[in-house]
Chains A and B, each alone.
Chain A
Amino acid sequence: MSHVNKPAKRRRFSLAANIALLPMALTVLFAYLGTMLWTMRVSVSSSRTFPADDFVGAAQYVRLFNNERWLLSLHNLLVYGVLFIIACMVLGFLLAVFIDQKVAAEGVLRTVFLYPYAMSFVATGLVWQWMLNPELGIQEVLHKLGFEQARFDWIIDQDMVIYTVVIATVWQASGLVMALMLSGLRGIDEEIWKAARIDGIPRWRVYASIVLPMLGPSVSTAFVLLFVMVVKVYDAVVAMTQGGPGTASEVPAKFIMDYLFGRANIGLASAASVVLLTTVLAIVVPVYFVRNRAGKGKAAR
């Protein structure tokens, strides 16, 4: 994001702007802030299926951090998050750049890369589970083709299973990143290309030094969207591995869901949500401050 305008001058009062932001204010206050506060309240109670009025201090949090499954889910989230975001950004960017080269059948290609996003992951997740199953899927095909020693059984391996979730979700989400980047690319002035050509700059240099910085907003939006998807990942895990084998591919959202509904313990689930949200805050707020400082640094272009 580049804030070109000097911040100090902009703050004259505009009634219209304030009124226009009223829906957002109401939503934040009641829907989001209200929910966060409610969740925090429930997390210090012994609520089971319904909220209870009592107060148990940090008991739920203690139970939470003694729970192996929860700790594993946080670890998985980190590993999954880093890989997923990097892979989606790179793949989405490359796809957008390559499609932008005036290729034939661009419409078809774009739909091919975007269709995974349109489909319910309940069914597509099952397909991925089948394809990665050593007896049914790709490993079996490789064996039949003669590569008897080939191994691709990550999905039944405790240590590797989280990578299968990465593969399937990158398949699903890179199309969206591509669309974002493409709309950003398409917003770049023709003059830039012409000028670069006249100056004799090689193509890839144009992309690296000129285009990529101009795609700042798209990259930033894509990053936030992906980050949100990472924190909320649930359908993929349930459809592909059910959190298994055992609890090897457990993720926080699934942990919370299980305790919210199946295990009728909204106290523990709320504590987990608070911890998850706090973790996200702990990552986002420092980044936000750094960027704000950098943004204030460059006053004008």
Chain B
Amino acid sequence: MTAAVMNPARRRRSRWTPARLGVYAFLLCAALFFLLPLYVMLVTSVKPMAEIRLGTLFALPVQATLEPWSMAWQSACTGLECKGIRGGFWNSVWIVVPSTILSIAVGAVNGYALSFWRPRGASLLFAVLMMGAFIPVQVMVYPLVRLLAMAHLFSSLPGIILIHTIFGMPVMTLLFRNYYAALPQELFKAARIDGGGFWRIFLQLMLPMSTPVIVVAAIMQVTGIWNDFLLGIVFAGAEHLPMTVQLNNIINTSTGERLYNVNMAATILTSMVPLGLYFISGRWFVRGIASGAVKG
């Protein structure tokens, strides 16, 4: 039937079967649904405000202009300063990179220890950790402010990195634990028999096999931390404020005028970093890493 399509040796488009057409049709419809808001955002971001006020959401601009984009990057007002969102870019990088690495590392070690070694009390600890994932972030802010203040880490870069690691721990641990639990146990047993200890097995066997889950973890952490606003504004300190603070200052307002075209442009610009990551992560979504190891 569609056997020819499944054969990895032959490239696609061997036969335009109805099933194949169905696949493309579904993906196309889904793509349209997903792209519709982006279309509105892009179109709005190149319209002058006079056109936006007319409320013609889907219409193409009559007088397209790239000025909102330039404003969003370098001249939109974010308070006393009117320098756009570019100021916070490196701050965000300095927060995101260490936080992602640290939270993924901790999550991987936790997941590994929980699924293969399972020391006493670890399951209970993990259960409480997962409960913690359900607490709304805002509720945790006040006690954490007090805690960090006591540790002299409030309003500092190490402080915000620690906070992101704490908040990322439940999901990261869950991700890695479920992933390792699905790996064949024979691998682990064989490595133990060969005399491997906790860290040797982790670094030399498990970690290299973890590429797919690391990719997903990285996607989640980079997106979450890059877009984080609340934790950054509370814990990062004035010199390390992430880009989302400027973004929030541009988009959000109580009683000020709203320039929707600049808001849309600023949002799209800020999301470029996670988007770039998604696009390049493609090469790691490859087949059969674990299976290759089993065949050995």
Interface residues of A (CB under 8 A from B): 1-5, 10-11, 13-14, 16-18, 20-21, 23-25, 27-28, 30-36, 38-39, 51, 91, 94-95, 98-99, 101-104, 106-107, 109-120, 122-124, 126-128, 130-131, 135-137, 140-141, 171, 175-176, 179-180, 182-184, 186-191, 193, 197, 202-203, 216-218, 220-221, 224-225, 228, 231-232, 234, 253, 256-257, 260-261, 266, 269-270, 273, 276-277, 280-281, 284, 288
Contacts and interface: CB of A to CB of B under 8 A. Distances in A.
Which of B227, B248, B286 has the most chain A CB within a 10 Å cutoff? B227
Contact of B198 (A17, A110, A122, A175): A17
B174 A120 contact: no
B36 A18 contact: no
B15 to A, nearest CB: 13
B231 to A, nearest CB: 12
A35 B106 CA distance: 21
B142 interface: yes
A103 B24 contact: yes
29 contacts: A5-B185, A14-B119, A17-B119, A17-B198, A20-B109, A21-B114, A24-B110, A30-B147, A31-B132, A35-B143, A36-B132, A39-B139, A102-B11, A109-B31, A110-B282, A113-B34, A116-B37, A118-B223, A119-B227, A120-B251, A127-B40, A131-B40, A187-B288, A187-B289, A197-B7, A203-B19, A221-B175, A256-B138, A277-B134
Nearest to A33: B128
Interface in B250-293: 251-252, 260, 263-264, 266-268, 270-271, 274-275, 278-279, 282, 285-291
B215 A183 contact: yes
A135 B5 contact: no
B80 interface: no
B136 A234 contact: yes
Contact of B267 (A23, A39, A124): A124
